Chains A and B, each alone.
Chain A
């Protein structure tokens, strides 16, 4: 038995050795290295002074109160969610409800107040880039998943040229961004004869500036025409009004490009999930008289939920790491509104050559993605179909 154990251990380490060494060197070491560098003022040629938490202070501002309050409010949201879910008896339920609502309200107030002050005293550029990333995430993940699912269902039917269709829809994903972005630059240019503007013309609308439009979409829809810096306001309304403007039209154009690229990719992943659903379920539903739409919502969607949750995690993580597909369509006119965290870090690294500070921001990005992943795994455990 002992001998077997030894053989197992040796085999195990031999088999995984190469992978572990390579990942250790090229993925894990960089994380530790980045943590280390973030504690210094670091130029490309090496460290230029130990700063301790100096970079983080620059990022979050001098007063730790606001950071702590923001983190506490986020913790409060999690706690509230937990409390609202407890179902231990009637008394427990009522307590859970009351406690949950109370904590939720308090956290909400804290969040609304603390975050603007945190941003005001910290590095606005970093927080703006986080907001851009969140808009990108919201704008791409739900639609790409939903459209991907629908497309997968359509591609799963018996229809002529099915194989050809599946290939065609994947091509935007396979093609390098550098090439496909060049075309979208043309399609979404501000010229009156661009494809997008001609389309608008069909509906009698005015041409738009698309990839060069820095104004927010909600702001534009509400008719506000403001360009340039916003008029002076209190800290709290100033910050939340920026959220109210929505993503810029330039960002929206990039999001449209992203749909075109990724919907086919998601449909392919959903096709896999679909193949695991037994045909008998659909046939049984047919016998019971259910229409195609009904089958879709009562059979397909629920049984695809494991795939959906996996793709949501991967999708959101992907948007936080996304770089190329956004950078290739960046135009200076919209600078700041099309720069997610990855681009902001890239600029800090290369154009400002502030490696220490860039590392600190990378750590923040890492922490956010980690937090989201943990959050998603917790909710997945609770909501996965069949639990």
Chain B
């Protein structure tokens, strides 16, 4: 292995760091604006406006943390937050279970009609959302699931995308490992639980995380399916709050930060495992 002199290497890293920092700055700028506006008074949002974080007008004179308390109270964010958590966690758990079981079957169990069913499954990936919005409303309503946890979660827990993803991974697990447990007399469920699951922590984590995010950020469906604040999630509450707050920019931004913060926090916490999971799951064509 050839060794390189150390000085050019350091320069390269510095330039790289600078470039990434600049890019990150551009990416973050809108959020900085959101946060700084959320901490201003109404008067400041009208009079001290600047698009550049280097100008003092960009930042509040004294941070108005009370804006967050106001936004939280006024918009009953407590309830919406709780709802979002319940809906997202339920969706995530159901998605992981259903997708994993299905993917395992499509990958490792030879059953009649497997290939055709899988092709039909894949074809649902093409369907645009608008096609199933109103039919689903009719179906959910006729089941009596309007404004219930079932109506908010079940239409989404079976996703061809996640089944496809997991199947790709499972396909790469050598069949011999499963044969071993089969010889011991284990049924499919046992094999799945004792052999496949432990190996699949990473891709399962990916599916869990993506489905959580998808559910947390969903807007159109919960907007139509929820009535009243009983099951209203954060995104719907935020949209309504943004309309409510009207010209009070600082409250709108505070509401927006409240909606975004948990997701970002969750991502920070889970990030390490997430990137590891992506790295090891191998999403191949």
Partner-B contacts on A (CB < 8 A): 7-9, 11-13, 15-16, 18-23, 25-31, 33-34, 151, 154-155, 157-161, 163, 165-172, 174-180, 182-184, 186-187, 193-195, 198, 260, 264, 268-269, 271-273, 275-276, 283, 286-287, 306-307, 309-310, 317, 320-321, 323-324, 341-342, 345-346, 349, 355, 358-359, 362, 365-366, 369-370, 373, 380, 384
**B128-A366 in contact (CB<8A):** yes
Among B132-157, those with CB < 8 Å from A are 132-136, 139, 154-157
Number of A-B residue pairs at CB separation under 8 A: 248
How long is the Cα–Cα vector from A34 to B257 in the complex, in angstroms?
39
**B130-A179 in contact (CB<8A):** no
**B235-A370 in contact (CB<8A):** no
How long is the Cα–Cα vector from A321 to B252 in the complex, in angstroms?
28
Report chain A residues within 8 Å CB of B163.
19
Report chain B residues within 8 Å CB of A18.
98, 101-102, 158
Please, how many residues of chain B have a CB less than 8 angstroms from a CB on the other chain?
86
Any A CB within 8 A of the CB of B49: yes
Can you list 13 A-B contacts (CB < 8 A)? A27-B132, A30-B132, A160-B13, A161-B17, A163-B275, A165-B20, A171-B27, A174-B213, A174-B260, A187-B33, A260-B26, A276-B284, A366-B128
Q: How far is the CB of B243 from chain A (nearest CB, A)?
A: 10
Stretch in contact with the other chain, from B70-78, B85-93, B262-270: B262-270
Among B248-285, those with CB < 8 Å from A are 252-253, 256-257, 259-260, 263-264, 267-268, 271-272, 275, 278-285
Report chain B residues within 8 Å CB of A160.
13, 17
B-side interface mostly:
helix
Q: How far is the CB of B72 from chain A (nearest CB, A)?
A: 15
Question: Among B111, B120, B131, B220, which residue has the most Cβ atoms of chain A within 10 A?
Answer: B131
User: Which residue in chain B gives the minimum CB-CB distance to A186?
Assistant: B33
- Take A23-B124, A25-B139 as given contacts and tell me if A323 and B129 are in contact as well, using a CB distance cutoff of 8 Å: yes
User: Which residue in chain B gives the minimum CB-CB distance to A343?
Assistant: B130
How long is the Cα–Cα vector from A291 to B104 in the complex, in angstroms?
44
User: Which residue in chain A gives the minimum CB-CB distance to B122?
Assistant: A373
- Take A26-B158, A180-B30, A271-B279 as given contacts and tell me if A151 and B23 are in contact as well, using a CB distance cutoff of 8 Å: yes
Which 4 pairs from chain A and chain B are nearest by CB? A12-B111, A15-B105, A195-B51, A30-B132
Report chain A residues within 8 Å CB of B125.
317
8 Å CB contact of A269 from B30, B280, B283: B283
How long is the Cα–Cα vector from A384 to B47 in the complex, in angstroms?
57
How long is the Cα–Cα vector from A159 to B114 in the complex, in angstroms?
47
**B267-A345 in contact (CB<8A):** no
Report chain A residues within 8 Å CB of B187.
7, 11
- Take A30-B135, A275-B279 as given contacts and tell me if A179 and B101 are in contact as well, using a CB distance cutoff of 8 Å: no
